[in-house]
Amino acid sequence: MKKIVLFFALGLAACTFQTKHRGYVFPENLETVAADIKTTAQLQEEIGAPQVKTIYGDEVWIYYGSDENYRGPLAPTYTDETVLLAWVNGKRVVKTVVLHDSDLPDIVIADGETEIPAAIELNAIEELFNNIGRFSPAGLGQ
């Protein structure tokens, strides 16, 4: 009986719930805070430095935050996903948009690997012989 109780106790411990926050921790009233931001200095003071800045087209600062939920052996799920987009012109914030879970599309990552055009596929023996002479012995400084 003790073994059964111990088994179920360990099983229950493996199914605990844990949440880790990823990215930015936004204020509760993000929409009103974002609407009041007029300069990049205000934006960095209120939210922080952006995770990403676009390099083509309009300059957009991108902020992302979500909760990663763990439930024992199951795959993690993500909730409270929030994205803040801020269009910037010089030191002025032109427009801000806040996107939540319902506004974001579901993205499914495909299985497998992306093929590389003109890639050379070598087996283990070919890889071994291909590396002969490429490395110098340690300590020779070459």
Each residue of 87-133: pLDDT tens digit? 999 899 999 988 888 887 777 777 887 777 777 788 888 887 877 77
CB 21 within 8 A of CB 65: yes
In order, the DSSP letters of 91-111 are: TEEEEEEEE-GGGSPP--PPS
What pTM was estimated for this model as a whole? Answer: 0.61
Condensed to tens digits (0 to 9), the pLDDT of residues 15-39 reads: 667 888 888 888 888 888 888 999 9
